[in-house]
Structure 1
Amino acid sequence: MPLLMVALGVVLLIILISKFKLNTFIALLLVSFAVALGLGIPAGKIVTTIESGIGGTLGHIAVIFGLGAMIGKLVADSGGAHCIAMTLINKFGEKRIQLAVVIASFVVGIAMFFEVGLVLLIPIIFSIAKELKVSPMYLGIPMLSALLVTHGFLPPHPGPTVIASAYKADIGTVLLYGILVSIPCIIVSGLLFTKVAKKIIPSAFEKAGNIESLGEQKTFKMEETPSFGISLITAMFPVILMMVATIVSMAQKTAGIKGNGFFTFIDFIGNPDTAMLISLMVAVYTMGIGRKIPIKQVGASCSSAAASIGMMLLIIGGGGAFKQVLIDGGVGKYIATLFNGSSISPILLAWIVAAILRISLGSATVAALSTSGLVIPILANYGHVNLALVTLATGCGSAVASHVNDAGFWMVKEYFGLSLKETFSTWTLLSTILSITGLICILVLNMFI
């Protein structure tokens, strides 16, 4: 019965979002109430369960998410992202243009959410493709691969941040391992897959694309943008702080050094909330005040960023509510009994559940959150479990097989002017290859740590 209720809930969610075009947040709330009743949660406790699910999810990530959006907006509005992309492309030259696109997209992707990075980079990609007389898809596949990797694996993006919070995994460790896994994922799904895709679906590489729907793009002159070094440091600053804190903490534990004021300070500035706040202050100066941009204009960029993520926060909160219903309704415990004594790796299990929900629901973030609700009780059946790797496996599974129920699928289709068949053969296949490669890398990494 618990599994049947989950299945019915997922089907209902798909119908509400896909057929009736209901707002995702409202659909999640309705399904959460329905599944809670079906699982036998007392009517008087359903609202409390849903509120705790929303509050518990947003309480930890809202600050990280909000500040991250502001940093990304400041870097974009100042021309910093444009400077990073163009400088790398010019430095690497025509022969290594794909590698330049990958690095630029990875850096920009860390600072910005997937959709924002896509909208920002596509005009640059099309411009370079036209100048070099190559297909937009030739540069587009490496770009999409790098953006998807940062979206699925690396905090402060919503998916990995929310999952790390749910599993109580250290975000800095998730970030460090995520970068290690990202490199082979991008090489396979971005650089190598481009060559395969060109043979599988050559027609996709003959399309000129269509970015008219993006409207008039803000143009920058390189001399008017912040310097490459300043732009790069600003975009990467939160990552630098969190990684330094994680590496110092690992070194301290390995060496058996007792805690002191220095380690306490490093731990404080490496805390995701603190790191994001410090990074925002750095961005306000480097991308704004330091370039004599009025503080009112800087504030407007921050306000615009905060307004743009309002619905995403609600959707994440709705996913948290559904996750809590699954936990309080005993679904996780029921599945845990099914896997009691099982030898299946928790990493593989998290990936499988996330992949199934991702294919069903479309939203990677909602799929990842729902997965955590099912997997958390199962983890108690295992001895030592590396929570950072389980977090990455969940994010990895939630990136698989992007198709017609995912907004990213339609963005790629329209911007690159592809047919449905071409989109499935490029974007959907890319996301699947990336997800499977990521799982293999995580399982290998688990053997050594």
Structure 2
Amino acid sequence: MPLFIVAIGIILLLILITGFKLNTFVSLIIVSFVVSLALGMPMEKVVTSIEAGLGGTLGHIALIFGLGAMLGRLIADAGGAQRIAMTLINKFGEKRIQWAVVVASFIVGIALFFEVGLVLLIPIVFSIAKELRASILHLGIPMAAALLATHSFLPPHPGPTVIAGEYGADIGLVLLYGIIVAIPTVIIAGPLYTKMAKKIVPDAFKKTGNIASLGEQKTFKLNETPGFGISVLTAMFPVLLMSISTILDMIQKSVGFEDDTTIEIIRLIGNPSSAMLISLILAFYTMGIARNTPIKEVMNSCTSSIAAIGMMLLIIGGGGAFKQVLIDGGVGDYVAELFKGTSMSPIILAWVVAALLRISLGSATVAAISTAGLVIPMLSQYDANLALVTLATGAGSAICSHVNDAGFWMIKEYFGLSMKETFSTWTILSTITSIAGLGFILLLDASLTISIMLIISISLVAMYFSIFNQPFKQSKDKSDVLDV
């Protein structure tokens, strides 16, 4: 019965969002009220549960999310993201242009949220494709794969950040494992799948796309942008700080040395909130003061970044409210009881639940947060690696992006694809990202050392087939020439 009520709640959420076109946050709060009452929660506890879920979720993520948005906007507004992309493209050369796009998108994707990274990188991809007389989709699929993987697996993106907090996972460990999982996943879903997509929908690779809806994009001459090294350092700085702290903890557990003041300071610096704050302060200098940008202009970039994520924060909070209702209403305990004594891994369960919610709801972030309400009560029954359960939830929430996901329509419109072509490229790409990600997560769960070696081997083999089996060639077909 509890699962039936949850199913009705999800259907109601779909009707409110897609049928009545209600705001997602408002819809989540309405459904949270309805589901909590249907589950038989005492009326005096309904509002308390919703407030606790919303406040608890935002209390954990707001600082990281807000500082991360500011950092990404500063890098973009200073031209740092463009410098990273163009430098890598120039270094890799025409034959390896896909890999330049992959690496650039991965680095930019760590610092920028999916939609922002997409809007920022698409004009660059279009201009490069036009110059090389290449298909925009030849470069667009690897770009989208890298952005989706960083969005699904790597903090400070909202999904993995929130879920790590809900599960009690070490966010630094999530980041390290996430990078290990994301790299081979991007190779498979990006450059390798591009080859297959060309056979499935060859006409899609002749499309010229349309980015008129993006408006006039701010462009920079390379000599006006920050240096490549400082741009990469600024974008990757929070990753470096969190990684150092996590590696220190791993060494301490294996060696067994005691804490001292130095270690405590490193831990403080490596805390996600501290790391984001320190990185933002660094960006104030590298992306602003060092370039003689007035501090007022730097602060304007920060302000505009927060305005852009305001509704996203509320939606995340709404997802947290729905999650808490599922827990307080006993749904999580009910699911835990159903699976009691079974051998199903919590990693697989988290992936399945997140995948079903993603397909139903569209929003990867809402699907991931809602999954926590069903999975958390189960975790006490297993000696599970919480970082890997977090990543499995992220992988499940990436699956099968279709018509109820904003990303689906962004890809369709920007690349000028038909519905069939969008399903055959973006939807399959997102599904490959999800399934491949789960596969690598399960490998890590089986044996960390062996898995890392296998993942490296798989990545190298995939790179070989992608790079050397079919080198990039300039198109001689007039239909491939872009008009942007």
Specify the code of the residue in structure 1 equivalent to 2:288. Answer: G
Distance 1:257 1:194 in 2: 48
Shift of 1:434: 0.8
Tell me how far 1:17 sits from its aligned partner.
Answer: 0.5
Q: Deviations over 1:272-307 (max 9, x none)?
A: 010000000000010001111000000100000011
Partner residue, 1:17:
17
> How many residues end up aligned between the 2 structures?
448
User: 2:269 corresponds to which residue?
Assistant: 269
| Structure 2 residue matching 1:156: 3-state secondary structure | coil
Matches within 5 A, 1:307-322: 307-322=307-322
Instruction: Name the counterpart of 1:248.
Output: 248
Counterpart of 2:165?
A: 165
Alignment of structure 1 residues 75-154 onto 2, 5 Å? 75-154=75-154
**The residue matched to 1:265 in structure 2 has which SS?**
helix
Which ranges of structure 1 fall in alignment gaps of 5 or more residues? none
SS in 2 for 1:51: helix
- Aligned partners of 1:5 and 1:381: how far apart in 2? 24
Write the deviation string for residues 284-336 of structure 1: whole angstroms up to 9, x where unpaired. Answer: 01000111100000010000001111000000000000000000000000011
The equivalent of 2:280 in structure 1 is 280
Counterpart AA for 2:171: I
Aligned AA for 2:187?
A: I
Give per-residue Cα distances to partners, 1:72-110, cap 9 Å, x unaligned.
000000000000000000000001100100000000000
Aligned to 1:204: 204
* CA distance in 1: counterparts of 2:301 and 2:430, whole angstroms: 32
Give the aligned residue type for 2:155: P
Alignment partner, residue 415 of structure 1: 414
| TM-score, L = length of structure 1 | 0.99
- What residue number does 1:401 align with? 400
Tell me if 1:439 matches 2:434.
no
Deviation at 1:342, TM superposition (A): 0.4
Distance, in Å, in 1 between the alignment partners of 2:58 and 2:447 is 33
- Taking the aligned partners of 1:40 and 1:313, their CA distance within structure 2 comes to 29
Q: Residues 156-187 of structure 1, C-alpha deviation per residue, up to 9 Å, x if partnerless?
A: 00010011011010100000000000111011
Q: Could you tell me how far 1:259 is from its partner in structure 2? A: 1.1
Structure 2 counterpart of 1:155: 155
Q: 4+ residue stretches of structure 1 with deviation over 3 A?
A: none
Tell me, which stretches of 5 or more residues in structure 2 are unaligned? Answer: 449-484
1:429 and 2:428 matched: yes
Equivalent residue letter for 2:415: F
**Structure 1 Cα separation of the partners of residues 306 and 183 of structure 2:** 31
CA deviation profile, 1:418-444 (whole Å, cap 9, x unmatched) = 000000000000000110000000001
Q: Which digits, 9 at most, give the CA deviation of each residue in 1:368-398, with x for residues without a partner?
A: 011010000011222x110000000000000
TM-score, normalisation: structure 2: 0.92
CA-to-aligned-CA distance 1:10-29 (integer Å, 9 cap, x gap): 00000100111100000000
The reply to whether residue 260 of structure 1 matches residue 260 of structure 2 is: yes
What residue is the counterpart of 2:292 in the other structure? 292
Counterpart CA distance in 2 for 1:409 and 1:286 is 35
The amino acid of 1:108's aligned partner reads: V
Corresponding residue for residue 389 of structure 1:
388
Alignment of 1:207-226 (within 5 A): 207-226=207-226
Write the distance in 2 (CA, Å) between the matches of 1:225 and 1:126: 20
Q: How does 1:52-63 map to 2 (within 5 A)?
A: 52-63=52-63
Aligned to 1:73: 73
Q: What's the counterpart of residue 333 of structure 1?
A: 333
- Superposition RMSD in Å: 0.5
Please give the secondary structure, in 1, of the residue aligned with 2:173.
helix
Q: Classify the secondary structure of the residue corresponding to 2:156.
A: coil
Q: Secondary structure at the match of 2:95?
A: coil
Aligned-partner Cα distance in 1 for 2:370–2:73: 29
Cα offset for 1:410?
0.1
Confirm whether residue 377 of structure 1 aligns to residue 389 of structure 2. Answer: no
What SS does structure 2 have at the residue aligned with 1:343? coil
Which amino acid in 2 is paired with 1:88? L
Separation of aligned partners in 1, 2:267 and 2:249: 8
Distance in structure 2 (CA, Å) of the matches to 1:357 and 1:444: 24
Structure 2 letter corresponding to 1:428: T
Percent identical residues? 71
Distance in 1 (alpha carbons) for counterparts of 2:380 and 2:226 = 50
1:51, 1:434 → 2: CA distance?
34
Partners of 2:105 and 2:408 in 1: CA distance: 18
Q: Are 2:177 and 1:177 equivalent residues in the alignment?
A: yes
Matches of 2:85 and 2:184, distance apart in 1: 21
Deviation of 1:260 (Å) = 1.1
What is the deviation of 1:248?
1.2
Letter aligned with residue 248 of structure 1: L
Tell me the amino acid that sits aligned with residue 205 of structure 2.
Answer: F
Deviates most, 257-266 or 340-349: 257-266
**Cα offset, 1:219, TM superposition:** 1.1
Deviation at 1:252, TM superposition (A): 1.4
CA distance in 2, matches of 1:396, 1:88: 28
Quote the Cα distance in structure 2 between the aligned partners of 1:203 and 1:21. Answer: 33
In structure 1, distance between residues paired with 2:24 and 2:257: 49
> Could you tell me which amino acid in structure 2 is paired with residue 96 of structure 1?
R
Q: How far is the alpha carbon of 1:191 from its aligned partner?
A: 1.0
Amino acid at match of 1:181: V
Query: What secondary structure does 1:306 align onto?
Result: helix
